C-alpha cells in the first residue's frame, strides 16, 4: 500500500493550498479529487475579490493552483474517497496510508431546481452575493431564501443594487431577528413572503423571475437572482471517522482539528460565516502546518 505523510481529500482551493504548504515543508503528499481540481471555484466566470488576481476566471485560477502543486512534486489522483479506517483512506481506486489526513471536501450549493436555474448560472443566476453582487450595481436583483444567508445577502446587495426583492416561501423568516430588523430598515428592499419561485426568465441572460404568491402568479423584472437556500456539505462518507454537526458539516473546536486525532478539516467542509476563496486557502495553509507540527 502506498504511504504518504499527508493525504488530502478534496482538490478545491482549501485542499490545493494545504498541499502547497505541506510540499514546501518537504512532505510526501497525495491529493484525492473525485471530479476536477479547483472545486466550486471552477464555475466562477470572473473573480473580483481574490487579492492580486482581479478578473481571473475560476477555471484559470484552478489550473494555476493545480500546476503549482504538480511543480512542487505533489501527486494528484482522480479518485473518490469513500471512507477512512486507521489512517488509511479508501477510495474507488485504492487505499492510501497517511500519517495525517486533511478533509477538504467542501460544500455544494443547494439548488432550487426550477426552470432556468442551471441554464443561467453565471448569466444572472448566482450562489454567491459577496462574489457577484458588484456586477449588478444600480440594477434590480432578487434573493431567494429565508435564513441567515438570504438576509445577509439582501443587506449586502441593498448597498450595491438599485432594488432587492427578497423571495421567501414561508410567511416569516427563519434568520436572526437583528438581521430581519436591519433588512427592514432598507428602503430599497422589498420582501415577498409566502412566495414560491417557479421559473427564471431570460434569453441570453436573466431578465426576470416568476413567483407564485398565495396562488397568484407574479412576474418580477430583475437582472440577477441570488440563490441563498443553503449548502450541502460533502462529508457524509466520513461520518464514521469524524463527528459531523446537525447540518452535516465536519465538527471542529478551533477551525482545524476534527474529533479524530490526526484528521484535520479545511475550507467549506466546516461551518463558517464566509465561504470564500481567501478563507478556504487560509484554512488549507493552517490545516497543513498544524498537521506537520503535530506529526513531528
Ligand atoms: C459559481 C461560484 C462562484 C464563486 N465565486 C467566488 C468568488 O468570486 N470569490 C470567492 O472568494 N469565492 C467564490 N466562490 C466560493 C468558492 O468557490 C468556495 O468558497 C471555495 O471553492 C471553497 O473551497 P473548498 O476547497 O473548501 O471547497 P470546494 O471548492 O467545494 O472543493 C472541494 C473539492 O473536494 C472534492 N471532493 C468532495 N468530496 C470528495 C471525496 N469524497 N473524494 C474526493 N474528492 C472529493 C470536490 O469534487 C471538490 O473539488 C464561488 C462559488 C461558486 C459556486
| Average pLDDT over the chain, rounded to an integer | 95
The answer to whether the CB of 160 falls within 8 A of the CB of 195 is: no
pLDDT in tens, 208-239: 999 999 889 999 999 999 999 989 999 999 99
Atom 37 in ligand 1: which residue has the minimum CA distance? 105
Cβ neighbors of 186 (< 8 A, separation 6 or more) are 154, 155, 158, 164
Q: Is 128 in the pocket of ligand 1 (CB under 6 A)?
A: yes
The answer to whether the CB of 79 falls within 8 A of the CB of 34 is: yes
Distance CA 192, CA 171 (A): 9
Q: Looking at residues 74-82, what average pLDDT do you find?
A: 98
Secondary structure (3-state) at 2: strand
Output the nine-digit C-alpha cell for 58.
Answer: 475560476
pTM, to two decimals: 0.88
Q: What angle do CA 95, 99, 104 make, to 5 degrees?
A: 75
Q: Is 140 in the pocket of ligand 1 (CB under 6 A)?
A: no
In ligand 1, the atom with minimum distance to the C-alpha of 277 is 11
Q: Is 241 in the pocket of ligand 1 (CB under 6 A)?
A: no
Annotated active-site residue in 37, 131, 268, 283: 131
* 80 Cα distance to chain centroid: 19
What's the chain's length in residues?
296
Q: Are strands 88-91 and 81-85 parallel, antiparallel or unpaired?
A: antiparallel
Q: What pLDDT band is residue 243 in, cutting at 50, 70 and 90? A: very high
Mutate to test the pocket of ligand 1, among 105, 125, 241 (most ligand atoms within 8 A of CB): 105
pLDDT in tens, 29-68: 999 999 999 999 998 878 889 999 999 999 999 999 999 9
- pLDDT for position 258: 98
Return the number of other C-beta atoms located less than 10 Å from residue 174's C-beta: 13
Secondary structure (3-state) at 167: strand
Alpha helices in the chain (DSSP H): 13-24, 58-71, 129-132, 148-158, 177-184, 277-295
90 given a catalytic annotation: no
- pLDDT for position 296: 75
Annotated active-site residue in 5, 37, 128, 223: 128
pLDDT in tens, 146-196: 998 899 999 999 999 999 999 999 999 988 899 899 999 999 999 999 999
Cα separations (Å) of 245 from 24, 95, 110, 264, 270?
33, 27, 17, 15, 9
- pLDDT for position 63: 97
Amino acid at each position: 500500500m502506498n504511504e504518504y505523510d499527508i493525504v488530502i481529500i478534496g482538490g478545491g482551493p482549501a485542499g490545493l493550498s494545504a498541499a502547497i504548504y505541506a510540499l514546501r515543508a518537504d512532505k510526501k503528499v497525495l491529493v484525492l479529487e473525485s471530479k476536477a481540481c479547483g472545486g466550486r471555484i471552477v464555475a466562477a466566470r470572473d473573480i473580483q475579490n481574490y487579492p492580486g488576481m482581479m478578473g481571473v476566471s475560476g477555471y484559470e485560477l484552478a489550473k494555476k493552483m493545480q500546476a503549482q502543486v504538480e511543480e512542487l512534486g505533489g501527486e494528484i489522483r482522480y479518485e473518490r474517497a469513500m471512507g477512512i479506517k486507521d489512517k488509511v483512506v479508501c477510495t474507488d481506486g485504492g487505499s492510501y496510508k497517511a500519517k495525517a489526513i486533511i478533509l477538504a471536501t467542501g460544500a455544494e450549493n443547494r439548488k432550487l431546481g426550477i426552470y432556468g436555474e442551471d441554464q443561467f448560472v453565471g448569466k444572472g443566476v448566482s450562489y454567491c452575493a459577496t462574489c457577484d453582487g458588484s456586477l449588478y450595481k444600480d440594477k434590480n436583483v432578487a434573493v431567494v431564501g429565508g435564513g441567515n444567508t438570504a438576509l445577509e445577502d439582501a443587506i449586502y446587495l441593498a448597498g450595491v443594487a438599485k432594488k432587492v426583492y427578497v423571495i421567501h416561501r414561508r410567511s416569516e423568516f427563519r434568520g436572526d431577528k437583528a438581521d430581519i430588523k436591519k433588512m427592514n430598515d432598507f428602503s430599497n428592499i422589498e420582501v415577498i413572503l409566502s412566495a414560491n419561485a417557479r421559473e427564471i426568465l431570460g434569453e441570453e441572460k436573466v431578465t426576470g423571475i416568476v413567483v407564485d404568491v398565495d396562488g397568484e402568479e407574479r412576474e418580477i423584472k430583475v437582472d440577477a437572482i441570488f440563490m441563498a437556500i443553503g449548502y450541502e456539505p460533502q462529508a457524509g462518507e466520513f461520518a464514521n471517522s469524524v463527528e459531523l454537526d446537525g447540518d452535516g458539516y465536519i465538527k471542529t473546536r478551533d477551525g482545524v482539528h476534527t474529533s479524530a486525532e490526526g484528521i484535520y478539516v479545511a475550507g467549506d467542509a466546516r461551518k463558517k460565516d464566509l465561504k470564500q476563496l481567501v478563507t478556504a486557502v487560509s484554512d488549507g495553509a493552517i490545516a497543513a502546518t498544524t498537521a506537520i507540527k503535530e506529526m513531528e
